Amino acid sequence: MNNGNNENNQITALGLDDSFMFSCSKQVPCFNECCRDLNQLLTPYDILCLKNSLGISSGQFLEEYTLQHTGPETGLPVVTLKPNNASNEAKCPFVTEEGCRVYSNRPGSCRTYPLARLASRSRETGEITEHYALLNEPHCQGFEEGDTRTVRKWIEDQGIAIYNEMNDLFMEIISLKNRLMPGPMGIKSRHMFHLACYDLDNFRTHLFEKGFLSGLDLGQVETEMLRNDDIELMKFGIKWVQENIFSGASTNGR
């Protein structure tokens, strides 16, 4: 997603039942323009879907298709798509003249566009409140045609709900880290966070071959789910980070 200069963007707050008109196809003159000047953040669920779509391991995907750095505000490992710089346009590595070659497994922010979502969870009730906004960027001409749909219908049509659910779990540990462990993380903590959240195939190897499961009271059914179900493994990884990196951080430090 093009995350360049936002000074001229028009941002309109929308409720779930508010409507907007938008279309993106080869017939739109700006087709593929939003896949240039890339600064595409990836969440654990984005990585899971993309590596499975490509039929490669999480480690191979991370090595071939991503850049990794430390977030300046959170101190957490951040993963972004590595641009294809062959044309000096910093294009998405998956964009072609025909469109996105991983379209059915594209990242959550790509499928949500032209909407943006902001979610917050109440500490008292655990309830998530979400807000949506329509991003009308100068380069995008998709607002001049297409069907009129509500935000709710767009979420349904684009298959966004599962991405929101999984990404909200990830946002919880970011919030926890900022609350209990502000500032930079130690090298070991960063490595374990990256392993459990982003590099799921290697995390599974550590669980079953390097003793990470020892001492945990897991039944046979849950153990087999971790062995065979990537989504359950991702959920377990997020919980593992909470309990092994951030639990007690407020009193024990890093």
User: Do 41 and 149 lie in a common domain?
Assistant: yes
Question: Of the candidates 119, 108, 118, which has an alpha carbon nearest to the alpha carbon of residue 154?
Answer: 108
- Residue 18 in any domain: the answer is yes
Q: Which residues pair with 38 in a beta bridge?
A: 2
Last residue of a domain, one of 138, 166, 194: 166
Across the range 180-207, mean pLDDT stands at 91
Mean pLDDT, the chain, whole residue set: 88
User: Do 141 and 207 lie in a common domain?
Assistant: no
- Residue 158 in any domain: the answer is yes
Digit-coded pLDDT (tens) for 139-162: 888 888 788 999 999 999 999 999
User: Do 130 and 159 lie in a common domain?
Assistant: yes
User: Do 66 and 106 lie in a common domain?
Assistant: yes
Q: CB within 8 A of 104, min separation 6: which ones?
A: 53
Global confidence as pTM:
0.89
- Residue 17 in any domain: the answer is yes
Digit-coded pLDDT (tens) for 57-94: 999 999 999 999 988 878 899 999 998 876 667 889 99
User: Do 31 and 81 lie in a common domain?
Assistant: yes
Q: Which residue range is the domain that position 120 belongs to?
A: 10-166
